């Protein structure tokens, strides 16, 4: 059988399926008789012992490679054995005659509610740990084995309804041959991560979970966007060959990674890196890029069950600053909410999270969180060329409010006598159309801007960037996108302020040609897009790009734009 989806991270994989379904408990209220109480209490104790053994095993696995993560599971053991929680559960079994699973549900929920309301951030974080533990206990009670992407036993192709950023951030990339999910599109975060890890991925394959069996062999062709089940030997051999050819071609293209990005008529275009951690793998992108155009700082938060401290953030930012030296490193402040939920902190449930309390808005509501990050940034700024960028800015009010917090943080650091560098550029992401439309006013208030085309498209087209049902409406090549980007570039350039692109369009050779034609001289992208973009730049002239941009502006639809670009650029484009 063949199943089609969106090939968001190119490549080919042949391997066994690992069905990933995070466990969801369904608990119905159940009481027990007086004669069953002792057995129920004992059953709870036994369950707790099993959970403790599981946690010890995870800790042991993580100890060598990720001691910090191992510590988190040690803390989970402490919570599992906590006297107050256990006393509550035992009372619920003995006095309220609740079955063990109901007592766990009610007992843990009580503490989760209490902790979620705490004023102190560190206590609020404990709510997420308790939720995690509650799920572990329910899962063991239901006899379901643990599914954990950070501790895979062998190489697999992961199939999931969706992968949350916290799943992708923690997955053991050395064991993941490919990814297929039921929802998500090119700009969802699982796609961005898959591309940066160079893991072939097809997203948005409806109902694929029901069609697959755990452990069955499949072929994932993430060039064409097809997943083949029950392949025979001939098909496996054919795709093994195709995979070889793909890898050889990708290796050839990779030679462009080190090219100097100057157009054929001698205009330099800066190529910057999008990154999500200070891990050595990601830092190695420094060899091929002019700086960091987007450091998604929230990934540090997503990959950890507890909030990173100011010190941990400082260390990470300092590492990136030192690695890039005088080259600019744009640190984007926390962009959580939307599709990025934190394990380590309770966020409000919203009907429209992408339109809700996201990014800067959430930071305004959680000032200690924001302040800790800003402190880490200003401290790390002593070690390199750090720039600070605010996400989800919709108005000048947002800019002014954020700048007020920034000033307070600097003043506090000064008064505390803490070494820091207060003089760093402060800029904004242009991803809400409203701010793009007042770009010339925004340019007066900030030092730079970077266009987040992923969200700009989502908000301009009124299309959820994750929902495959409306993927056809998510048209990044819509002429309106290029018109709005063109206006923004002109406004910032006229004000003499730096402007770049850090959304996925910046790493898409077709679109990049238009962006250059619109006056953009700074593109930022995941490392896997660097060779293709450098190939494009070195084959292009500015008049050619300007003519393209002009043509695109007069197109009526996204399809027309794409056809026009393919016709004009054909041979300049990378083939993979």
Nearest distance, CB of residue 431 and ligand PEP, angstroms: 5
Cβ-defined contacts of 352-361 (< 8 Å, 24+): 354/458, 354/464, 354/465, 358/392, 359/333, 359/334, 359/335, 359/391, 359/392, 360/333, 360/390, 360/391, 360/392, 360/393, 360/398, 360/402, 361/337, 361/392
Nearest distance, CB of residue 390 and Mg ion, angstroms: 11
Per CB under 5 A, 339 contacts Mg ion:
no
Q: Give me the residues paired with residue 9 across strands.
A: 201
Q: Which residues contact 182 (CB under 8 A, 6 or more apart)?
A: 160, 161, 162, 204, 205, 206, 207, 208, 209, 468
CB-nearer residue toward ligand PEP: 134 or 186: 186
CB-nearer residue toward ligand PEP: 101 or 431: 431
Per CB under 5 A, 261 contacts Mg ion:
no
How do strand 2-4 and strand 176-181 relate by DSSP bridges? unpaired
Nearest distance, CB of residue 436 and ligand PEP, angstroms: 12
Please identify which residue in 452, 500, 517, 531 interacts with Mg ion, judged by CB under 5 A.
Answer: 452
Nearest distance, CB of residue 88 and ligand PEP, angstroms: 40
> Total number of residues binding Mg ion (CB under 5 A)?
3
Which positions from 412 through 441 interact with Mg ion, judged by CB under 5 A? 431
CB-nearer residue toward ligand PEP: 125 or 335: 335
Per CB under 5 A, 455 contacts Mg ion:
yes
CB-nearer residue toward ligand PEP: 294 or 362: 294
| Contact yes or no for 503/332 (Cβ under 8 A) | no
CB-nearer residue toward ligand PEP: 257 or 272: 272
Structure tokens at 339: 């599709």
Nearest distance, CB of residue 12 and Mg ion, angstroms: 30
Active-site entry in 189, 272, 420, 478: 189
Q: In 187-219, which positions are buried (b, 16+ CB within 10 angstroms) versus exposed (e)?
A: bbbbbbbbbbbebbbbbbbeebbeebeeeeebb
- Could you list the residues that contact ligand PEP (CB under 6 A)? 294, 296, 335, 431, 452-455, 502-503
Nearest distance, CB of residue 384 and Mg ion, angstroms: 24
| Contact yes or no for 161/21 (Cβ under 8 A) | yes
Angle, in degrees to the nearest 10, between helices 121-141 and 67-80: 80
Nearest distance, CB of residue 452 and Mg ion, angstroms: 4
Q: Which does 453 bind (CB under 5 to 8 A by kind): Mg ion, ligand PEP, none?
A: ligand PEP
CB-nearer residue toward ligand PEP: 263 or 476: 476
Nearest distance, CB of residue 107 and Mg ion, angstroms: 39
- Please state, in angstroms and rounded to a whole number, the distance separating the CA atoms of residues 491 and 481: 15
Told to judge if 502 belongs to the known catalytic residues of this protein, a careful annotator would answer: yes
Of 321, 327, 331, the C-alpha closest to 384 is: 321
Q: Which does 195 bind (CB under 5 to 8 A by kind): ligand PEP, Mg ion, none?
A: none
Question: What 8-state DSSP symbol labels residue 306?
Answer: S
Nearest distance, CB of residue 392 and ligand PEP, angstroms: 8
CB-nearer residue toward Mg ion: 98 or 435: 435
Told to judge if 138 belongs to the known catalytic residues of this protein, a careful annotator would answer: no
Cα→Cα distances 573→156, 350, 511, 532, 533, Å: 32, 41, 11, 7, 9
CB-nearer residue toward Mg ion: 346 or 455: 455
- Please state, in angstroms and rounded to a whole number, the distance separating the CA atoms of residues 388 and 3: 43
| Contact yes or no for 539/518 (Cβ under 8 A) | no
CB-nearer residue toward ligand PEP: 313 or 458: 458
Nearest distance, CB of residue 262 and ligand PEP, angstroms: 25
Q: Which does 10 bind (CB under 5 to 8 A by kind): Mg ion, ligand PEP, none?
A: none
Q: Which residue is nearest to Mg ion (CB)?
A: 455
Through-space distance between the first and last CA atoms of the chain, rounded to whole angstroms: 25
Of 356, 341, 348, 330, the C-alpha closest to 303 is: 341
Q: Which residues contact 546 (CB under 8 A, 6 or more apart)?
A: 517
| Contact yes or no for 51/136 (Cβ under 8 A) | yes
CB-nearer residue toward ligand PEP: 398 or 455: 455
- Please state, in angstroms and rounded to a whole number, the distance separating the CA atoms of residues 254 and 136: 43
| Contact yes or no for 269/537 (Cβ under 8 A) | yes
DSSP string, 94-161: HTS-B-HHHHHHHHHHHHHHHHHT-SSHHHHHHHHHHHHHHHHHHHHHTTPPP--TTS-SS-EEEEES
- Please state, in angstroms and rounded to a whole number, the distance separating the CA atoms of residues 1 and 271: 41
Element (H, E) at 462: none
| Contact yes or no for 15/243 (Cβ under 8 A) | no
Q: Which does 502 bind (CB under 5 to 8 A by kind): ligand PEP, Mg ion, none?
A: ligand PEP
- Just list the catalytic residues: 189, 502
Binding stretches for Mg ion (CB under 5 A): 431, 452, 455
């Amino acid at each position: 059988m063949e199943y089609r989806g969106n090939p968001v991270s190119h490549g080919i994989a042949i391997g066994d399926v690992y069905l990933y379904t995070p466990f969801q408990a369904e608990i119905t209220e159940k009481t027990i008789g007086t004669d069953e109480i002792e057995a129920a209490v004992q059953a709870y104790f036994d369950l707790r012992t099993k959970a403790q053994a599981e946690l010890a095993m995870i800790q042991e696995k993580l100890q060598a490679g990720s001691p910090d993560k191992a510590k988190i599971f040690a803390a989970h053991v402490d919570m599992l054995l906590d006297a107050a929680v256990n006393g509550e559960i035992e009372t619920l079994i003995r006095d309220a005659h609740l079955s063990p699973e109901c007592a766990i549900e009610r007992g843990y929920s009580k503490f989760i509610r209490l902790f979620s309301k705490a004023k102190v951030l560190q206590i609020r974080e404990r709510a997420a740990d308790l939720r995690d533990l509650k799920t572990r206990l329910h899962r063991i009670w239901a006899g379901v084995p643990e599914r954990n992407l950070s501790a895979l036993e062998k190489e697999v192709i992961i199939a999931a309804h969706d992968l949350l950023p916290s799943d992708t951030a923690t997955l053991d990339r050395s064991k993941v041959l490919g990814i297929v999910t039921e929802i998500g599109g090119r700009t969802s975060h699982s796609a961005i991560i898959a591309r940066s890890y160079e893991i072939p991925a097809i997203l948005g394959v409806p109902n694929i979970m029901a069609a697959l069996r755990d452990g069955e062999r499949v072929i994932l062709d993430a060039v064409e966007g097809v997943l083949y089940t029950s392949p025979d030997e001939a098909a496996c051999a054919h795709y093994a060959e195709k995979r070889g050819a793909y890898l050889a071609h990708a290796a050839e293209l990779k030679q462009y990674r080190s090219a100097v990005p100057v157009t054929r008529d001698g205009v330099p275009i800066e190529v910057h890196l999008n990154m999500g951690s200070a891990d050595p793998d990601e830092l190695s992108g420094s060899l091929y890029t002019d700086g960091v155009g987007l450091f998604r700082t929230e990934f540090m938060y997503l990959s950890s069950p507890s909030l990173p401290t100011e010190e941990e953030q400082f260390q990470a930012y300092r590492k990136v600053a030192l690695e890039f030296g005088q080259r600019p490193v744009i640190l984007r402040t926390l962009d959580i909410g939307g599709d990025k939920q934190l394990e380590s902190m309770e966020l409000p449930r919203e009907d429209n999270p992408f339109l809700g309390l996201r990014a800067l808005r959430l930071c305004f509501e959680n000032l200690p969180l924001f302040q800790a990050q800003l402190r880490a940034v200003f401290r790390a700024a002593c070690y390199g060329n750090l720039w600070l960028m605010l996400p989800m800015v919709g108005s000048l009010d947002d800019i002014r409010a954020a700048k007020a917090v920034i000033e307070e943080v600097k003043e506090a650091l000064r008064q505390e006598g803490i070494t820091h560098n207060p003089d760093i550029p402060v800029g904004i992401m242009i991803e809400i159309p409203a701010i793009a439309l007042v770009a010339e006013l925004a340019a007066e208030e900030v030092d730079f801007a970077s266009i987040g085309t992923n969200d700009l498209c989502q908000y301009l087209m009124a299309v959820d960037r994750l929902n495959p049902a409306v993927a056809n409406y998510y048209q990044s090549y819509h002429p309106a996108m290029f018109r709005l980007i063109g206006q923004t570039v002109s406004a910032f350039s006229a004000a003499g302020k730096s402007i770049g692109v850090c959304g996925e369009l910046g790493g898409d050779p077709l679109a990049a040609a238009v962006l250059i034609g619109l006056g953009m001289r700074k593109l930022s992208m995941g490392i896997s897009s660097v060779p293709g973009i450098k190939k494009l730049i070195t084959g292009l002239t500015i008049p050619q790009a300007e003519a393209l941009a002009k043509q695109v502006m007069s197109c009526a639809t996204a399809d027309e734009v794409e056809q026009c670009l393919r016709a004009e650029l054909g041979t300049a484009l990378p083939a993979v």
